[in-house]
Amino acid sequence: MEWLIWGGAFVSVIGLAGLIWSIVKVIKLRGQSLSDEEMRVAIQKVMPLNLGSLFLSVIGLMVVTLGIFLS
């Protein structure tokens, strides 16, 4: 079940990269001088990336855990 562990780790790293990317996007948005409404709209556009990345990360960690239990 080693392939399950490595596959899950790969998916988890992709999710982590997406989380870091969404954090960087929000930090860049905070550096701009936007109104509250413009900031809210911009952050709402980043939110699906954040949630999708979190989902990938959690699924990857669950697959790693499953691979450890099965091996």
Residue pLDDT, tens place only, 7-62: 999 999 999 999 999 999 999 998 888 888 999 999 999 999 999 999 999 999 99
pTM for the predicted model, two decimal places: 0.85
- The upper half-sphere exposure of residue 57, i.e. CA atoms within 13 Å in the direction of its Cβ, equals 13
Q: pLDDT at position 1, please?
A: 82
Residue 21 sits at the vertex; the CA angle it makes with 20 and 23, to the nearest 5 degrees, is 65
CA distance 71 to 67: 6
